[in-house]
Structure 1
Amino acid sequence: MLNKIRLLLVDDHAVVRGGYRRLLESRPDLTIVGEAATARDAFEQHRLLEPDVVVLDLGLPDMGGVELIRRLIQRDAGVRILVFTMHREPIFATQALRAGALGYVTKSSPPEVMLDAVYQVAARRQTISPDIAPELALALVNQAADPLAELSPREFEILRLLLDGCSPEEIGSRLSITAKTVQNCHYQIKAKLGVRSDIELTRAALKLGLI
């Protein structure tokens, strides 16, 4: 009997998940055991279903994908995560991999790249889609010159939400932390990026390609 690789799909667009399902289940050794549209639902489904591989997008409505990765790894250090996202910027890949993802594939990649990445991650091998691999390698070499590389996955997620216009209270609610903790992280983020005000923080984010 064929041992199938059990997958959990996490994306907030049902049409996109449907496309993933058709592609992945075209292979006889892959099966979708669950789908989730939010990070919280994904966290719970992972606990209940214990899939072999979690395929997730970074842009989720209730919590960023990097934070979800961090939480999944915190609960289960052996979880295998493949990020499938539209974000081509190296900083997103760097943060996802630092948080614990094994694979990072862009949505502009050919179908066979995604399929191969699923098998690689299932085998606990790191994989990066070819379209961003050179940029990511260069970013890692120059990491010391990139202030964003100094941010932890949690700080990166808070910065992303701040840039989206979320208040400390909103961020705290999403990340299950206090508004005071958010404010402290906000201060640390500005210190690491070498800025003093939120206007300077936004300018720095623009310059670094985060927005």
Structure 2
Amino acid sequence: MSTIRILLVDDHPIVREGYRRLLERQPGLSIVAEADTAATAYQAYKATAPDLALMDLSLPGVGGLEAIRHIRQWDKGARILVFTMHSAAAFALKAFEAGASGYVTKSSDAAELVRAVTIVARGGRALSDDVAREIAAERLGDGAALASELGPRETEILRLVASGRTTEEIAALLHLSAKTVQNYHYQIKSKIGARTDAHLVWLAMGAGLVERDSAISPIFQSF
């Protein structure tokens, strides 16, 4: 079996170091590059052409969903495994929609992560047990309907709005015009039936598209 070359993407150096040691102890796994933002992840992917990108979703500025989408636009065969603290079904579904091939939470044990790395690197799909249960539960409830209304880019813009980013900041992060961001913002509110920005974030939290801890903007606090 040839060595699986991995790009490790996480914004915390100590976390990256821990997972580097864990993965490189496994026969046939090698970390060939690291990144701490969506932009550096894209650059590192182009520079090293890894067999697999192991990607956190919580990155500064533009998040992991946008990084996945960007990498997949450049390389439609990219194999990306999300490894994140977010266990909500909506996050996993949006990651797959953006182009990920696997989704494992950081609460999973080491063996589950290593198994997922091997599966995704060889062209398969992987999902940790806790997320699989969340997806099954959501499909039986009402959350899936709202989540299905938004695409990956809309979900990323919603996340940035909820975290308190201004239209101009979002435009700069996503390399869009302010007018385009405003149009997305309006479309998002229309799609999920939000009356105000506070209501928008509230609905998104209820569907699992935005984690409560990340919704710290004055918009939400005033609801």
TM-score calculated relative to the size of structure 1: 0.95
1:70 and 1:19 map into 2 onto residues whose CA distance is 26
- Which residue number in structure 1 is paired with residue 70 of structure 2? 71
Instruction: Give 1:124 deviation, angstroms.
Output: 1.1
- Which residue number in structure 1 is paired with residue 128 of structure 2? 129
Question: What is the aligned residue count?
Answer: 210
In structure 2, the CA distance between the partners of 1:69 and 1:122, relative to structure 1 (3 Å rule), is same
For structure 2, the residue ranges without an aligned partner over 5 or more in a row are: 213-223
2:98 and 2:156 map into 1 onto residues whose CA distance is 11
Higher mean alpha-carbon deviation, 166-175 vs 199-208, is at 199-208
In structure 2, the CA distance between the partners of 1:73 and 1:89, relative to structure 1 (3 Å rule), is same
Higher mean alpha-carbon deviation, 132-141 vs 182-191, is at 132-141
- Which residue number in structure 2 is paired with residue 37 of structure 1? 36
Matched, 1:207 2:206: yes
2:158 and 2:89 map into 1 onto residues whose CA distance is 16
| One-letter amino acid of the counterpart of residue 203, structure 2 | A
In structure 2, the CA distance between the partners of 1:204 and 1:22, relative to structure 1 (3 Å rule), is same
- The residue correspondences of 1:78-157 to structure 2 (distance < 5 A) are 78-140=77-139, 146-157=145-156
CA RMSD of aligned residues (A): 1.5
- CA deviation string 1:43-95 (max 9, x = no partner): 00100100000001000012110111011111100000000000011100010
- CA deviation string 1:155-202 (max 9, x = no partner): 000000000010011001111111111100000000111122212212
Instruction: Give 1:206 deviation, angstroms.
Output: 3.2
Instruction: Give 1:132 deviation, angstroms.
Output: 1.7
TM-score calculated relative to the size of structure 2: 0.90
CA contact 2:10–2:37 (8 Å) conserved in 1: yes
- Which residue number in structure 2 is paired with residue 162 of structure 1? 161
Percent of aligned pairs with the same residue?
50
- Which residue number in structure 1 is paired with residue 178 of structure 2? 179
For structure 1, the residue ranges without an aligned partner over 5 or more in a row are: none
| One-letter amino acid of the counterpart of residue 7, structure 1 | I
- Which residue number in structure 1 is paired with residue 219 of structure 2? none
> Per the alignment, in what secondary structure is the counterpart of residue 46 of structure 1?
helix
Q: Which runs of 4+ in 1 moved over 4 A?
A: 140-145
1:13 and 1:145 map into 2 onto residues whose CA distance is 31
> Per the alignment, in what secondary structure is the counterpart of residue 176 of structure 2?
coil
In structure 2, the CA distance between the partners of 1:200 and 1:108, relative to structure 1 (3 Å rule), is same
CA contact 2:90–2:144 (8 Å) conserved in 1: no
> Per the alignment, in what secondary structure is the counterpart of residue 148 of structure 2?
helix
> Per the alignment, in what secondary structure is the counterpart of residue 195 of structure 1?
coil
